[in-house]
Amino acid sequence: MEQGLSFRLTGTSLLGALVVAYLARVVYQWYRLSHIPGPFWAAFSKYWMVRESLNGRQPITIKKATDQYGSLVRIGPNELVTDDPEVLRKMMAVRSPYTRGPWYDAMRLDPTRDNLFSQRDEVAHTKLRAKMAAGYSGKENESMETTIEENIANLVSLVETKYLSEGQQYRPMDFAQKTQYFTLDVISHLAFGKPFGYLEQDTDPYDYIKITNSFIPVMLVLADVPLLANMLQSRLLRGLLPKSSDKLGFGAFIGVAKKMVAERFAPDAKSQPDMLGSFIRHGLTQEEAAGESLLQVVAGSDTSASTIRLVILYLLGNPPAYRLLQTEIDRGIAAGKISSPIKDAEARRMPYLQAVIKEGLRIKPPASGAFFKTVPPGGDVIHGKFIPAGTHIGSSPFGIHHDKKVFGADAEMFRPERWLEADEEGLAKMTSTVDMVFHYGKYQCLGKNVALMEFNKIFVELLRRFDFCQVRPDQPAHISNAGIWIIEDIWVRVTRRQPAEAAL
């Protein structure tokens, strides 16, 4: 009996000690960043962050927090965010001592290895990035422009064959879906030398879009709580994740990527002038090439598709802007300044087109996660406040790109004209700020050139041929956020344009 009583007392004492230790840790975590303002309960747990992620509104809520509490805000026990581009440039500079935080652990597409995006080892990241830069830049992929043109032609052909509404014939088209087909075909064509064939088949044979749209919100929650990501990627639980043997979804894509890459590493395979060929020539192993090609597809298709969708969506909601862009296109064609298909260099000389693209990138930044970086040893001072080493600092993309001091009082509004009205100093500031959608320095997106080339071409090629009209103006789209924008159900009526003689 005495032994039982002693055991219970020992157990109670141990439990009490654990509770005291936990409370002491909570108090310590709260205290070390207590001088940074933010939502009260966010300082004690990650519930605030996870709740906003699950509700598909995290970047919007983070902006509200920076509006309320200032440019540096606490949103978690060890997490801060800032809407100051200068602070972010300092953190991401090539020689910055800041490193990627545990947030990136959830970005491993293969739980057994890192990719360029998830890699937190700075030395390994720099080496891998150097091997891949030439392939993304187009220096070793001279067919990049014609590859994008081929896939735009496939999109145009699909529209003309199946989705033109003429007279009494009504053929509504889900622009959101077709845009995803287009970007998946472009990036797979660039990555592997041939497209997956989404536009040709006009279907999602692997249910990739459906399953990925369900999985990406989970990935953001895992990023917010890295402990969960590491548990799921452990040997014990990684079987629950997508794998190359799957017949559908993301796992099927892993299998396709590995198969295509294996073919290029065969003893009799010839070097090809595409991205994968460049990666191989610069020393990527077969496993690295498979992982990076897969990352290209995932990162390059969703972000580009979201910007294309949003630009068309906002143009349809802003008829004057829609007409101004079509007029610029018509006049450029009449003056012989626009080829068929338009060349990237020609598009960059079209002021209103460039204004529309920049405004589309700004109004809803395509990659809108927090991207937490870790404060280096010794800590840092930001806005006069000491930030301890090991603190994770992320960005407020909406706070940055909707800053009224930079973009004007109507920064919440899609208005391309702001880019044409600004003076030289204001334009330079807006441009450098919008460039942050592609990040900066050692973390700048290698796919920036590909994305901009897509944007420079697709709007001209679509709007020179077709007119688009919303089928459901009261419900133009379904939009949520999971670090990227998940945009579905943009139903449009597409008609063939007649020569715009008045504009010529």
Among residues 403, 25, 483, the alpha carbon closest in space to that of 224 is found at 483
The pair of structure tokens assigned to 53 is 């992620």
Residue 444 has pLDDT above 90, yes or no: yes
pLDDT for 111-129, tens place per residue?
888 999 999 999 999 999 9
Q: Is there a domain that residue 35 lies in?
A: no
Report in angstroms the alpha-carbon separations of 35 from 41, 62, 332.
15, 18, 56
Residue 141 has pLDDT above 90, yes or no: no
Report in angstroms the alpha-carbon separations of 384 from 35, 72, 98, 381.
11, 11, 18, 6
Q: Are 182 and 458 in contact (CB under 8 A)?
A: yes
**Amino acid residing at 350:** M
How far apart, in whole angstroms, are the C-alpha atoms of residue 34 and residue 381?
A: 15
Residue 462 has pLDDT above 90, yes or no: yes
Q: Is there a domain that residue 34 lies in?
A: no
pLDDT for 55-104, tens place per residue?
889 999 999 999 999 999 999 999 999 999 999 999 999 999 999 999 99
Query: For residue 127, what is the domain's CATH number?
Result: 1.10.630.10
Which pLDDT does position 20 carry in this prediction? 62
Q: Is there a domain that residue 112 lies in?
A: yes
How far apart, in whole angstroms, are the C-alpha atoms of residue 184 and residue 178?
A: 10
Among residues 460, 503, 499, the alpha carbon closest in space to that of 341 is found at 460
Give, for 478, the enclosing helix (H) or strand (E): strand 478-481
Say how many domains are in the chain: 1
Among residues 301, 300, 269, 283, the alpha carbon closest in space to that of 132 is found at 283
Q: Is there a domain that residue 349 lies in?
A: yes
How far apart, in whole angstroms, are the C-alpha atoms of residue 54 and residue 482?
A: 8
Q: Is there a domain that residue 7 lies in?
A: no
Which pLDDT does position 179 carry in this prediction? 97
Domain of 298 in residue numbering reads as: 97-372+430-496
Q: Are 274 and 137 in contact (CB under 8 A)?
A: no
Tell me the three state secondary structure of residue 367.
strand
pLDDT for 162-174, tens place per residue?
999 998 899 999 9
Which pLDDT does position 503 carry in this prediction? 40
For residue 247, name the pLDDT band (cuts at 50, 70, 90).
confident
Q: Are 155 and 308 in contact (CB under 8 A)?
A: no
The pair of structure tokens assigned to 140 is 């070793």
The pair of structure tokens assigned to 406 is 């930079």
The arithmetic mean of pLDDT across residues 442-466, rounded, is 96
Q: Which residues are annotated as a binding site for heme?
A: 445
How far apart, in whole angstroms, are the C-alpha atoms of residue 34 and residue 301?
A: 40
**First vs last C-alpha separation in the chain:** 101
Q: Which residues are annotated as a binding site?
A: 445
Radius of gyration of the chain (CA): 25
Neighbour count for residue 209 (Cβ, 10 Å) = 21
For residue 156, name the pLDDT band (cuts at 50, 70, 90).
very high
How far apart, in whole angstroms, are the C-alpha atoms of residue 468 and residue 362?
A: 23
Which pTM value belongs to this model? Answer: 0.92
Provide the CB-side half-sphere exposure for 108 (13 A, CA).
20
The arithmetic mean of pLDDT across residues 36-55, rounded, is 93
Q: Is there a domain that residue 85 lies in?
A: no
Q: Are 466 and 495 in contact (CB under 8 A)?
A: yes
Residue 5 has pLDDT above 80, yes or no: no
Q: Is there a domain that residue 403 lies in?
A: no
**Amino acid residing at 60:** I
Q: Are 293 and 257 in contact (CB under 8 A)?
A: yes
16 compared with 45, residue with greater pLDDT: 45
257 compared with 93, residue with greater pLDDT: 93
Sheet holding 491-496, edge to edge: 173-174, 491-496, 466-470
Q: Are 389 and 377 in contact (CB under 8 A)?
A: yes
Give, for 229, the enclosing helix (H) or strand (E): helix 226-232
Neighbour count for residue 112 (Cβ, 10 Å) = 10
Looking at the DSSP bridge assignments, the partners of residue 485 are: 481
How far apart, in whole angstroms, are the C-alpha atoms of residue 85 and residue 380?
A: 16
Report in angstroms the alpha-carbon separations of 314 from 108, 322, 363, 448, 460.
33, 9, 10, 22, 16
Main-chain phi, psi angles of 481, to 5 degrees: -125, 135
